[in-house]
Amino acid sequence: MEEEGMEEEGGSGGCEAMMDDQNHNNWGAGDYGRHLLGPAAAPLGDRLLHGPAAVPTAGTELPAVPEANGVLRGCEPGKGGAGAIAAAININASTSKFLMNVITIEDYKSTYWPKLDSAIDQLLTQSPGDYIPISYEQIYSCVYKCVCQQHSEQMYSDLIKKITNHLERVSKELQASPPDLYIERFNVALGQYMGALQSIVPLFIYMNKFYIETKLNRDLKDDLIKLFTEHVAEKHIYNLMPLLLEAQSTPFQITPSTMANIVKGLYTLRPEWVQMAPALFSKFIPNILPPAVESELQEYAAQDQKLQRELMQNGFDR
């Protein structure tokens, strides 16, 4: 397939011509029409978050002309037959255009997925503030067309495999980290991945809505967070937690923001990890510990005095 076909607006993919696909999405022409890409000039964020209104253009959103006894309604003499015939011609033209733009599995593997693969690579490895030289509009349109052409299942499988391989490499790099760099590198890996999801999930919004939610009864963001939990966090939690506890007992060994990011991130990934270090999690997650009782007030006061002494020893005035 010609590569320039990918540059067309998403609405030209002809999704409205498909009433059901092999992924059992069961889209109606009217329902899916509300999710068509708007004009290229419209902000991408508005379309991702709010869903664009379908903009009628040539060859899209054409009125159906039902048949009665094999004759197009409206074609009877004196009942606007010319208009109905014109509509039928337009429908045939739209259908022909759609059939000419069929994306085969070979097209998907050779043209469409490589573009998605490259964009995902860049999003997963970017540093905060980096400029990513990719066309979000093109990637968004590419996903949209693949969903329309019944490649949702393959695309989802490729996405999961791609990100799994990336996370396995991240895990191996962490395993090779020395103890004094372990916490910082885990924090970078966690922050980088969560930041990447903020772009990856919206770009695959159509696959999420019309395949993952509909057929798998799941959510893409939840699936991708689970991947990090399984392939990175679970493999490192028993090495990471003792280092966090040691850092907690040695003020300013790591920055407070790093400690907060990791603890909050671990709680998001798996709340039951709180039981491994309740006191540590309680410093950053509210209502983790049971309410204070009067009999323990002296212990709380002793802890505060100890903290004040440590602060003074590190140059902080009272």
Superfamily of domain 103-308: Cullin Repeats (1.20.1310.10)
Reported as a single tens digit per residue, the pLDDT across 54-92 is 333 344 343 443 333 333 333 444 444 455 444 544 545
Q: What is the pLDDT of residue 69?
A: 36
Q: What is the pLDDT of residue 313?
A: 65
Q: What is the pTM of this model?
A: 0.63
Q: What is the pLDDT of residue 34?
A: 38
Q: What is the pLDDT of residue 253?
A: 82
In percent, the amount of the chain with pLDDT more than 90 equals 46
Q: Which helix (H) or strand (E) covers residue 67, if one does? A: strand 67-68
φ/ψ of residue 100, rounded to 5: -70, -25
Neighbouring C-alpha atoms within 13 Å toward the C-beta of 100? 9
Q: In the predicted model, is pLDDT for residue 166 greater than 60?
A: yes
* Closest residue by Cα to residue 112 from 76, 140, 74: 140
CA separation for the pair 133, 287 (Å, rounded): 43
What are the angstrom distances between the C-alpha of 256 and each of 123, 208, 247, 248, 284? 27, 36, 10, 9, 10
Strand partners, 36: none
Q: What is the pLDDT of residue 297?
A: 66
Q: In the predicted model, is pLDDT for residue 146 greater than 50?
A: yes
CA separation for the pair 4, 1 (Å, rounded): 9
User: Predicted confidence band at 250 (pLDDT cuts at 50, 70, 90)?
Assistant: confident
Q: In the predicted model, is pLDDT for residue 22 greater than 90?
A: no
Q: What is the pLDDT of residue 307?
A: 59
Cα torsion angle, 232, 237, 241, 243, sign? negative
Domain edges within the chain: 103-308
- Average pLDDT value over all residues in the chain: 74
* Closest residue by Cα to residue 270 from 185, 190, 173, 166: 190
Reported as a single tens digit per residue, the pLDDT across 221-243 is 999 999 999 999 999 999 999 99
The label of the residue with tokens 């590569």 reads: 3
Q: What is the pLDDT of residue 225?
A: 97
Q: What is the pLDDT of residue 135?
A: 85
**Mean pLDDT, range 261-272, rounded to an integer:** 94
